[in-house]
Chain A
């Protein structure tokens, strides 16, 4: 597994665990919704040879796509800013890790928009 995928799995599982823990706590007679991290994990890969600026560009494009769908995450913007700062500071390893996380969260936010385009209807009281 590449370092990107490793970071991606950690990030996605962290997000999923929050969702599962919270919805589990919130059951109280309501249907418990489940996160499906698998759908997130397979959505994108980063070529191992991509440069950090290229990964940042990909993250920015995905972030813009999510924003157009009203589903951008603050996390993505922060990670992009941090990746740029690390790159300027000459810390290529840190910059790559942050850029990969930024792209991972951007991909997940677009995925969320796609799922929620229909899923929200299941939460409307009937």
Chain B
């Protein structure tokens, strides 16, 4: 009996995260930023690096006077309102609150046992109504998500991790990816966005991971167009010389699930513009 207790104790000490739960993770992450940036309200991290750099924030706010994503949102509204050939529309697939639904994505789908993103839901809607699925980087799909994001502004992120071992496994997969070093430069997401958050990387201020998901899709000046979160994930991977994963791959969907859960309770403010 004594040896069993000892074994259990050793297991708890040696595998500190084996018994972690998502809500404990979320609170621990928020505590890190509260301590690191005591003068920055946690909800302000929804503005990313612009919450941590006053000069860059002023420039960003100036740019937001004439938001570069505006035309994409307008296009998205047209696509959203245009019925499919069978008369149905995206709204028919998004529930009674459509188009204010972004706060619930990504979500765990019990039927497939996988995390489903808003982009996948839109494409599934198309397929169910006899339309072809769109490329995840296509102008139309990006525009529709931009419109939904715009309509969902102000809604608070409300990601649920149901009591299902598959959901927890997906969350843990995303969490592991976030904290795992990869690429020849040997960086984890957490190295830049927890350890180095607030510091400069070349000419850019590194944002906190808290709130990073609130403003997507985003107009990036490097892209000269609006693009989705997974495109940014891929670029981050390439920047550390790691092979990127496909848009909407299970790896990136699980990462989005983890990161979005970490920002639960924060207000959506997308689409936005970023350098």
Chain A residues near B (Cβ < 8 Å) = 15, 18-19, 22-23, 25-26, 28, 30, 35, 67, 70-75, 77, 105, 108-109, 112, 116, 119-121, 123-126
Query: Once the chains bind, are B183 and A74 in contact (CB under 8 Å)?
Result: yes
Contact string, B184-205, partner A, CB cutoff 8 A, digits 1/0? 1111101100111001000000
Query: Once the chains bind, are B179 and A22 in contact (CB under 8 Å)?
Result: no
Give the A-B pair count, Cβ closer than 8 A: 86
Residue of B nearest to A72 (CB): B243
Given A22-B185, A125-B194; 19 other pairs, CB 8 A cutoff? A18-B185, A25-B196, A26-B196, A70-B182, A71-B182, A72-B243, A74-B242, A74-B243, A75-B241, A105-B184, A108-B184, A112-B182, A116-B181, A121-B17, A123-B188, A124-B179, A125-B29, A125-B32, A126-B16
Q: Which residues of B contact A116 (CB under 8 A)?
A: 180-182
Residue of A nearest to B238 (CB): A74
Query: Once the chains bind, are B241 and A73 in contact (CB under 8 Å)?
Result: yes
Q: Which residues of A contact B194 (CB under 8 A)?
A: 30, 123, 125
Query: Once the chains bind, are A26 and B181 in contact (CB under 8 Å)?
Result: no
Query: Once the chains bind, are A120 and B188 in contact (CB under 8 Å)?
Result: yes
Kindly provide the distance from the CB of B61 to the nearest chain A CB, expressed in whole angstroms: 27
B78 contacts the other chain (Cβ, under 8 Å)?
Answer: no
Q: A125-B31, A125-B32 are in contact. Are A73 and B176 (CB under 8 A)?
A: no
Segment 138-190 of B: residues with Cβ below 8 Å from A: 175-177, 179-188, 190
Query: Once the chains bind, are A72 and B242 in contact (CB under 8 Å)?
Result: yes
A109→B185 CA distance, assembly (Å): 11
Query: Once the chains bind, are A121 and B16 in contact (CB under 8 Å)?
Result: yes
Query: Once the chains bind, are A75 and B184 in contact (CB under 8 Å)?
Result: yes
Listed by A's residue number, 17 A-B pairs whose Cβ atoms lie within 8 Å are A15-B185, A25-B196, A25-B199, A26-B191, A35-B186, A72-B243, A73-B183, A73-B241, A112-B182, A116-B181, A120-B179, A120-B181, A121-B17, A123-B179, A123-B194, A125-B194, A126-B16
Q: A26-B196, A35-B186 are in contact. Are A73 and B181 (CB under 8 A)?
A: no
The answer, among B16, B199, B238, for a CB contact under 8 Å with A28, is B199
- Which bracket fits the contact residues of B? 20 to 34
B94 contacts the other chain (Cβ, under 8 Å)?
Answer: no
Kindly provide the distance from the CB of A76 to the nearest chain B CB, expressed in whole angstroms: 8
Q: A28-B195, A121-B17 are in contact. Are A74 and B241 (CB under 8 A)?
A: yes
Kindly provide the distance from the CB of A64 to the nearest chain B CB, expressed in whole angstroms: 11
A7→B242 CA distance, assembly (Å): 21
Query: Once the chains bind, are A112 and B188 in contact (CB under 8 Å)?
Result: no
Q: Which residues of A contact B16 (CB under 8 A)?
A: 121, 124, 126
The answer, among A28, A35, A67, A120, for a CB contact under 8 Å with B176, is A120
B25 contacts the other chain (Cβ, under 8 Å)?
Answer: yes
Residue of B nearest to A30 (CB): B195
A105→B241 CA distance, assembly (Å): 11
